[in-house]
Amino acid sequence: MSECRRCVELSFPVPWGIIAAKAWGDPCLPPVLMVHGIQDNAGTFDRLMPMLPDMFYYVCIDLPGHGKSNRFPKGVFLNFMLYLSSIRRVVQQLHWVKYHYIGHSLGGQLGTYYASFYPDEVTKLIILDTLAPTTLDIGNYIRKSKKQIEEIIELENKLLNSNSKPNYTYEEAIRRVVNGRKAPISIGAAEVLAARSLKKNNKNFYYFSTDQRLKFGVPPLVTSETHLNIIQNIQCPMLLIITHIYLEFVKSTDHSSAYDTYKLLQTKNNVQIVQVTGQHDVHNDNPEVVAPHINEFLLKIKSLL
């Protein structure tokens, strides 16, 4: 694992602008696609990268509306398929035929669906601290859908009528990143995220470029049964690295699709499950905790694809 692995910025044209990415290593090496969680960006893997094997080419994308990537157009309701198709656009432009996939949180959820949709392409799948997106609750679908529609339109109107973005000093912005999640992260972990999501105005203050519509999530709009069928279709070797905290949360709440996913994955011969100590962003906060498991899986586990 090299501290001086070369990193370059990439840009992929899409109908609404560009999808940005950071690429690490030699593009002639076997490729690995890396996808971050919601309201994060490609910087989430910066602190993990020096600990990963040198014999791969890593491309870490900024999902639309994150980091340096353009947002989806105004008026568009964000959804899971928009983000899945964005990943597909990047892969097609890279001209990859076979590749590994590493995803954290939303990036991991997208990865499970992507590997299921393209089983002949994804050769290994590594999921960091997630099990399932929020699936359709049939009994509350009408109420929840109505609420989401009203919230999004209200946010759009608020942004349309606002003359300025919230501005912060750099220190204030970093504190917001540190504390703006379920569990605080370190300043170092916050700074690699802020490097891609903070922009400076003409008064030497900073604002966040992240799409505010992401506050409402990007659910896939499928039932729990359909979700489990999708997970069942994952054929490549899969490594799930899950924190004790998240697993206990899943077991103790009514997020049944996540726990059902966990129970299903336990029965699949192609799946390894590793529990680690740490918070949801342990791959960024304490990358040394997850790196050995990722490295062993990348280097020693064989794929039949």
Separation of CA 184 from chain center: 18
Please name which of 32, 115, 106, 98 lies closest in space to residue 295, comparing C-alpha atoms.
32
List all residues 6 or more positions away from 225 whose beta carbon is below 8 Å from its beta carbon.
none
Supply 175's token pair: 């504190």
The CA distance from 95 to 82, in Å, is 20
Q: Single out the catalytic residue among 86, 105, 197, 224.
A: 105
CB-side neighbour CA atoms (13 Å) of 233? 17
Phi and psi (nearest 5°) for 151? -65, -40
The CA distance from 37 to 125, in Å, is 16
The CA distance from 268 to 21, in Å, is 33
303 is catalytic: no
The CA distance from 131 to 111, in Å, is 11
Supply 214's token pair: 């992401």
| Contact present, 90 and 12 (Cβ < 8 Å) | yes
| Contact present, 208 and 197 (Cβ < 8 Å) | yes
The CA distance from 265 to 205, in Å, is 47
| Contact present, 69 and 43 (Cβ < 8 Å) | no
CB neighbourhood size of 289 (10 A): 15
Phi and psi (nearest 5°) for 46? -60, -45
Amino acid identity, residue 227? Answer: H
Supply 250's token pair: 């899943």
Q: Which residues are catalytic?
A: 105
